[in-house]
Amino acid sequence: MMHCIPAVLALSLCAGLASAQSITRATVVMANGQSLPGTTGLTCSGLNDPYTNAAGQIGFTGSSSGGNFVWYDSAVVWLNSDGLPSVLTGAEGTMGVSNSGGFCYSPTIDGDDGAWTQLGVLIVEDQPIPTLPGKLSAFASRPSMSPDGTAYFVGDIRDVAAGTTTNRAFFRVSDPSNPVFDVLWIGGGTYGGLTITTGASNFPYDVSDNNAHRVHVLTATGSTATDLFVHYSATDSVIAREGSTAPGGGENWVAFRIPSTNNAGSWLVAGDTNNPTTSIDEIVAYNNTIIAREGSSYGGRVFAGAIGASSLNNREEVAFISAGTTGVAPSTLFVGAASSLSTCFTIAVGDSIDTDGDGNCDAIISDFNASNTVAPGIDLAEDGMVYVNVDLTPCAGGTANETIIGIRFRCKADFNGDGTLDFFDYLDFVAAFSQSAPSSDYNGDLTTDFFDDLDFVADFSSGC
């Protein structure tokens, strides 16, 4: 393919994209107390963690003056009351959105546990599971959805209606309009050479946008000192295990946060080790190499405390939130290339943000609300934006308010993520595009084609 080289070859990133500064530009997606677009007169009263699709559009669940809702892109697209005659209540914090506006979340359906998509009921408590003859659904939790509309969830299983739970499994539904519940793991099965229990949590997981790769934190039978492990589905292998040597040697894994993977099969695991110096025992491993360690500085900030959330995207960029340690460093969001976190973007509790673009302080981050147990907490797309659930306190004074904000940490066309838009970004994109690398799906439509090239050239020419 012939590539026309744009005239713009070297542009510095605009203010607010790179490292720490006094005020960071941020966009408010939704905040408690605000009117909800897509509804008639409803106001937001609660927010869950944000998720993204391959195109960078955002989705989340929340609560309002008119019940729970599902948000997609820029507005509410579903209210629990839209499910009538089924009575839907509540909404689990975990969910997912597709590129075409589909969604999957977990409300209570007529008083029973279940999962629901834009098409209606996906599964509900005591529903038979045809792929497991004689078994019924007990609950569906941690639902997600890939960009192509494939739904996933962790489900408990029972033998008789309203009976006790007898097992747990992980399900895939490739076509929610005609649900077939593929069992991807189940208690008692062997994965990576280890047999997993039927009663352990086994909730944390991530699935790549192209559905080709999965990572799960699972619990093996045997000693509780070595039972937790991270399973990588594509090679049916154990990539990390409690009690086993962490990357680099000299310490062993003790606990794991929610892992992450991408279209290329790269993986990210954050967790705790038995390092005798507890102020440096939290690590972030990328493809079996430690890329961040508690106590070290990245982007001019100290990584302190446990990891509250982490994510890996298809551009081999990572995002993670540290919990912070009193007297050392506050809770901090780090975002950057996995290969060079020393120059990553950071923002921390106590930092000021500008939400209206006038350059003045509008709010101060008082907390990050991401969960590392119920949900992944953060879901990094490829467009240079990162979305987080935070508490914001007005700079002029007042009460902290839960808010989902978006921050541009990188110019979208800065393809190599080095902080400068220049000819090397163009060369790197062409190289990736020529090899049909996952990162060259620039527009996130799940296909590498001429439109990716056109969209990249347009953004590159426009600058930052």
DSSP per residue, 13-69: PPTTSSS--SEEE-EEEEETTSB-TTSSS-BEEEE---EE-TT--EEEEEEETTEEE
pLDDT value of position 376: 79
Residue 431 lies in a domain: yes
Q: Which pLDDT value is given to residue 22? A: 79
- Helix H or strand E segment including 433: helix 423-434
pLDDT at 294: 98
Consecutive sets of 10 residues in the chain, 464 residues long: mean pLDDT of each? 41 39 91 98 98 97 98 99 98 97 98 98 98 97 98 98 96 98 97 93 93 97 97 98 97 96 97 97 98 98 95 97 97 96 95 97 96 81 97 97 97 90 94 94 92 94 88
438: domain range?
A: 1-11+413-464
Amino acid at 124: V
Enter the tokens of residue 127.
């529903």
16 located within any domain = no
Q: How far apart are CA 436 and CA 154, in angstroms?
A: 33
Distance CA 317, CA 294 (A): 19
In degrees and rounded to multiples of 5, residue 432 shows phi and psi of -65, -40
CA angle 419, 423, 426 (to 5 degrees): 90
Residue 399, C-beta contacts closer than 8 angstroms, at least 6 positions apart: 393
Q: Measured between alpha carbons, how far is residue 213 from residues 235, 262, 267, 375 in Å?
A: 9, 7, 9, 18
Pairwise CA distance, residues 389 & 374, whole Å? 14
Strand partners, 121: 116
Q: Specify whether the CB–CB gap between 239 and 231 falls below 8 A.
A: yes
CA dist., res. 431 & res. 461, Å (int): 18
The pLDDT, as a whole number, for residue 371 is: 78
1: in domain: yes
Question: Which pLDDT value is given to residue 201?
Answer: 77
Distance, in Å, from the CA atom of 210 to the CA atom of 13, rounded to the nearest integer, reads 30
Q: Does residue 449 lie within any of the structural domains?
A: yes
Helix axis angle, 423-434 relative to 450-462, nearest 10°?
Answer: 170
Do residues 299 and 334 lie in contact, with contact meaning Cβ atoms separated by under 8 Å? yes
pTM over cut 0.85:
yes
First vs last C-alpha separation in the chain: 26
Number of domains in the chain: 1
* pLDDT of the residue at 10: 37
SS3 call for 172: strand
Residue 278 in domain:
no
Q: Residue 427 domain-assigned? A: yes
Give the pLDDT of residue 154.
97
Give the pair of three-digit tokens for residue 217. 């934190």
Beta strands in 65-193, from DSSP E residues, in sequence order: 67-72, 75-79, 88-89, 96-97, 103-105, 108-109, 112-117, 120-124, 136-145, 151-158, 165-173, 182-186, 190-191
Within a domain: 18: no
| H or E element that contains 430 | helix 423-434
Domain assignment present for 255: no
